[in-house]
Structure 1
Amino acid sequence: VSPYVLITPNETRRNQLQQIAKKELDDLERWKEEHRPGPIKLVPQRLGGKESEAQARQKQQMALMQSKYQQKHKREEYVKAKKAAEEAEILKKKATQREKAERLEVKKRQQEMLRREMFLEEQYYKTNELLNRLDLGLPKSDSCQIANRGPGSTAWMRSHTYKQALREDENRRLEEMKQEQRRK
């Protein structure tokens, strides 16, 4: 005894299904026969014009070779154009970097000159103060009040003039850049 239940097929139902399938297949075959395309009737004509087959093949071969060379030439032109564009981009970047470096160098030089001027001015005042002290026999200025250096000699005044010089320099540089832009 097996654990499966076997069901016997219904003989009449099976026969009906087979007859329907056979009828449908016959109908399909009949439809194919009715709708079969007829023979193609073309008037024979000579193809290829007046040239021979060898000439046509030679022409085809030449066209193929020329197309290969044209493609190669196009590719080379594209690569050249791309390289030129990259080169131009690199040169443009280098020029901007050079301009930045030059501006920075000019700014550094100006700051150095201003620092030097301030140092020389400070040295001049210190020397004068020392000479005055030696002449008058005054005590050291470290412990007492420093002699008056005159107008514009205080640290605030020097700082103020330094900042004003920087502002004027920046304004002048901006004006130069604006004029250069207008010229372009």
Structure 2
Amino acid sequence: PMGSPANFEAALARIAEVMDEQEDVLVLYTTSHGAPFGVVYNDGNEGFGAISPRRLAALLRAHGIERRLLIISACYSGVFVPPLSGPQSAVVSAAASDRSSFGCAAENDWTFFGDALVNRALRKPQPLETAVNAAIAEIAAWETRGRLKPSLPQQSIGVEVQAWLKPLEARMPKVATPPV
């Protein structure tokens, strides 16, 4: 389906129906255009739609999804970090709330953030926090070389996240895979 807010909400509702709140973890990776008010999606023939940080936080709350890893790749995506943070929530954004991120072009397979975090750092057998910090350092180096205004990716890892993250990390592959 098209990446509309309505389709996003329907998919989240269905996931919540089948999730075991005590056992499962929502991993949400979304990449799109961003604005200071949220993430913008192409809604097919209907035009564009947006999901604000407050709306996403309300949806997750309404569906009882507390255990979550949220990775938001968009300009200004740091606006999602404060409202989505919580004791059982890990949130990573491509940029600060007042900054653009880079690498979004039709000819690119990855944005800077997607390449550094998903394509490189998360392919290595290392804890999430180490992977995020490695990605942030790599992005900063690319931006410095390109003389770009730093995007300042943001992260928040709740105090109770390790309870569900550690068993998941224990099952990760022991060997890195090459970037694509």
Normalising by the residue count of structure 1, what TM-score does the alignment of the two structures yield? 0.16
Higher helix share: 1
Higher strand share: 2
Q: Which has the higher contact order (CA 8 A, sep 6+)?
A: 2
Task: Choose 1 or 2 for highest CA Rg.
Answer: 1
